[in-house]
Structure 1
Amino acid sequence: MTRLNMRRRRFGQIPVANDPDFGSEYRESWFKTVYKWLVTIDGDSTLNEERGYRSLPYVTNYIFFLGGRLHTLRHKDQIWLVVLAIIVAPMVLFSIFEANKLWNTRLGYKPLVFLFYYFWTMSCSFFIRTATSDAGVLPKNVHLAQLTNRFQIPQEYYNCVSLPGPRTAADPLSKVDIKYCTTCRIWRPPRASHCSTCGACIMTHDHHCFWVNNCVGQRNYRYFITFLTSTVLTAILLITNCSIHIARTKRPSHVPIAIFLLVYACLTVWYPAILLGYHIFLTGTQQTTREFLHYTHSKNPVFTVITPAQHNPYDTGSFLRNMALLILQPRGPSTFSAREIHRPGDWRFVTVPGTHSFEKLHRSQE
């Protein structure tokens, strides 16, 4: 349990299993209801029937906006706002100083200006969708083995269950590992993993991206790839437009903004381009970032040669097919919807006592 949740429990702000006050009736003012719809940071444990965005802050580290339509993380550096400013700033400068001059020429530069705005719009919109959408959060407390003895976890739940994968002549030893999350109290589906930053398990978890302040998983991975692709194309078009303007000017010193935007785009295009290339080659081998890091035991995956993993049950043997299956996989339904109403006492929104091993329990009883 995090320090934040421990502090909430101490002051009676978080529902706990077997709490006699849990589920009591309460009516709040319309002003508080509207405020909680605009931004929900800690929720309100006095309500016994709520929408998901009013209860999810109890069991995750998310903050919700506009009735659960958007979210971000609490108590984290909001670097994604800086990234958003980096995306918006060149568009504003280009619109003020460059777009009109290129648009009104007779040399056919209008398509380049139009494409710049088109890909910039895609870059900005998919960045926001990646940063604020559900990455594939899985519900909590679905597999509670024992409701007595402080929800003790059986010893066998600490083991990793290996199921046979698709057996082929090339790889007859492929297998699928299933693990129990002692924090979320669920048996995780294949390729799912727990993110300690978000405080939740994520379906087909690729990585937690601090640039967007959100996880990249099954439900927003395509948004992430689209954002990288459109960002690279936007930078290339900005370089092209500014280069044309500088080349058509007799004195480059008269177009300082064009020179600035040219240098700006040349410097900023490299990181998303490298990251996009990394994910293209990674998905071509049917690996997520977490799986690749686990396989290579490296902390710098971008600078590590990407090779196919041994006994990978998801590898089809085709680079393009692997890439399509991982990037274009179905988003699937939201298993932990922030906008749906849940019933009173829903176990998915209840904080159960922290985990403990049998060794610690045995020593405490001696």
Structure 2
Amino acid sequence: MTSFNVRRQRQAYPLETDSESGEDHREESWFKTLYKWIVTIDGDVELSSERGYRSIPLVSNYVFFLGGRVRSLRSTQHIWLLVLLAIVAPMVLFSIFEARKLWRTSLGYKPLVFFFYYFWAMACLFFIRTATADPGALPKNIHIAQLRNNYQIPQEYYSSISLPTPKSNVDPLSKIDIRYCTSCRIWRPPRASHCSTCGVCVMTHDHHCIWVNNCVGQRNYRYFIIFLIGTVLAELFLIANCSIHIARRSSQVPVTILLLVYACLSILYPAILLGYHVFMTGTQQTTREFLKQVHTKNPVFTKIKPAPHNPFEQGTFIKNMGSLMLQPQGPSLLGARAKHRSGDWRFYNIPEQHSFQRL
């Protein structure tokens, strides 16, 4: 039994409150309040009127820090820590062994050093932003079919609903499919999908990225793209700086050679990934939509083709790319710092879903 299922059993029903005021009067020590503000791993079932960061972990796999300002995921391999180390380590070595020598020369190398630090800071900042931001998580238990009979889900909820689009007159096959999420108990908006790793549905869900330990969705997609751009440019300037140093001094440069080899190898994957997302967004597709079209688990090396009858097609490559990369973030619908009242259905788990046919 996973830790998520254990929490589901622990909080199967709303906490009972005072019948007159409707609020819970339990109090906690200042130490526990401070601890829960610093890190909230399992949520808190003792308080039913609190901020979101103390309730969201009860219905998802999120972990919050600093009062909901930073989020991560529990029970992961923490590959993102290795990625962060891979970003910081070359900067430290470059600062110790290379930066001063290049900066003090009179040959005009200072801009190269400056731009390396600038794009490195961009990559590091937006890596953290992508990893800790709300990707566009949707609240749970908004569309509950039946409150009686053990919250049964009617069989028709397992079907998708097809809505017409402005292009339906020209292309009758152009449609938008709306599906019901039996895990979150909501009708998902267009392009939203459920992430089993995070335990929530995400708006304009592109994919769950193990490298940043977070989903890439509507509210952090632009951060992810800027992170890739910053990483590629920082590696290019690192290659330029190291190449100049090796050309000027052909001996006693072991760290310079190490940094040059590292930069040449480490630039490949983010450059391929950046190119992939540029062409993907140019066809007005998310990674999840593309995977359904090509039926493969490795889309990076698969030829990208426009999706037939795509209702979101904007007409040109640039408009498509801008529509996805620069789409409005929208408000956080599951705010970690927002307050909620007692008995809020979004923050407790109901029995496992089943249909009439499964009874």
TM-score band by shorter chain is over 0.9
Q: What whole-Å deviation, never above 9, does each CA across 1:139-179 have from its counterpart, x for those lacking one?
A: 00000121101111112111100001221786342100000
The one-letter code of the counterpart of 1:157 is: Y
Q: What whole-Å deviation, never above 9, does each CA across 1:330-356 have from its counterpart, x for those lacking one?
A: 000000000011000101001111111
Select the residue among 317, 320, 331 that pairs with 1:319: 317
1:63 counterpart = 2:67: no
1:142 counterpart = 2:138: no
Q: Distance in 2 between matches of 1:20 and 1:135?
A: 32
Aligned to 2:300: 302
The one-letter code of the counterpart of 2:244 is: I
C-alpha contact (below 8 Å) 2:163/2:176 kept by paired residues? yes
Aligned to 1:248: 248
Q: What whole-Å deviation, never above 9, does each CA across 1:233-282 have from its counterpart, x for those lacking one?
A: 00000000000011011xx3311111110000000000000000000000
Q: CA deviation at 1:283?
A: 0.2
The one-letter code of the counterpart of 2:282 is: G
C-alpha contact (below 8 Å) 2:98/2:256 kept by paired residues? yes
Change (3 A) 1:168 1:148: closer
C-alpha contact (below 8 Å) 2:70/2:133 kept by paired residues? yes
Aligned to 2:272: 274
Change (3 A) 1:18 1:237: closer
SS at match of 1:64: strand
The one-letter code of the counterpart of 1:146 is: Q
Q: What whole-Å deviation, never above 9, does each CA across 1:104-158 have from its counterpart, x for those lacking one?
A: 1111111110000000000000000001110000000000121101111112111
Q: CA deviation at 1:3?
A: 3.0
TM-score, scaled to structure 1 = 0.94
5 Å-filtered alignment, 1:190-201, equals: 190-201=190-201
Aligned to 2:358: 360
5+ residue gaps, structure 2, are none
Aligned to 2:182: 182
The one-letter code of the counterpart of 1:16 is: A
The one-letter code of the counterpart of 1:339 is: R
Q: Distance in 1 between matches of 2:326 and 2:63?
A: 28
SS at match of 2:251: helix
Deviation beyond 6 Å, 4+ runs, structure 1 = none
The one-letter code of the counterpart of 1:279 is: H
Q: Distance in 2 between matches of 1:153 and 1:169?
A: 34
Aligned to 2:3: 4
Q: CA deviation at 1:24?
A: 4.0
Select the residue among 283, 286, 293 that pairs with 2:284: 286
Q: Once the two structures are aligned, what percentage of the paired residues are identical?
A: 66
C-alpha contact (below 8 Å) 2:58/2:347 kept by paired residues? yes
The one-letter code of the counterpart of 1:138 is: L
SS at match of 1:253: coil
Q: What whole-Å deviation, never above 9, does each CA across 1:10-49 have from its counterpart, x for those lacking one?
A: 5xxx433355479643111111111110100012111121
Q: Distance in 2 between matches of 1:346 and 1:243?
A: 60
C-alpha contact (below 8 Å) 2:205/2:288 kept by paired residues? yes
Q: Distance in 2 between matches of 1:110 and 1:147?
A: 68
C-alpha contact (below 8 Å) 2:155/2:357 kept by paired residues? no
The one-letter code of the counterpart of 2:198 is: C
How many residues matched?
355
Q: Distance in 2 between matches of 1:78 and 1:71?
A: 13
Q: CA deviation at 1:298?
A: 1.1
Select the residue among 12, 19, 25 that pairs with 1:16: 12
Aligned to 1:115: 115
Aligned to 1:206: 206
Q: Distance in 2 between matches of 1:87 and 1:137?
A: 27
The one-letter code of the counterpart of 2:295 is: H
C-alpha contact (below 8 Å) 1:113/1:241 kept by paired residues? yes
Select the residue among 315, 321, 344 that pairs with 1:346: 344
Q: Distance in 2 between matches of 1:21 and 1:182?
A: 28
1:215 counterpart = 2:215: yes
The one-letter code of the counterpart of 2:165 is: G
Aligned to 2:36: 36
Q: Distance in 1 between matches of 2:5 and 2:92?
A: 45
SS at match of 1:306: coil
The one-letter code of the counterpart of 2:7 is: R
Change (3 A) 1:9 1:332: closer
C-alpha contact (below 8 Å) 1:25/1:48 kept by paired residues? no
Q: Distance in 2 between matches of 1:159 and 1:150?
A: 21
TM-score, scaled to structure 2 = 0.96
C-alpha contact (below 8 Å) 1:25/1:46 kept by paired residues? no
Query: Which deviates more from structure 2 when the two are superposed, residues 122-131 or residues 20-29?
Result: 20-29
Aligned to 2:237: 237
C-alpha contact (below 8 Å) 2:168/2:175 kept by paired residues? no
The one-letter code of the counterpart of 2:153 is: I
Select the residue among 260, 263, 284 that pairs with 2:261: 263
Aligned to 1:226: 226
Q: Distance in 1 between matches of 2:125 and 2:173?
A: 43
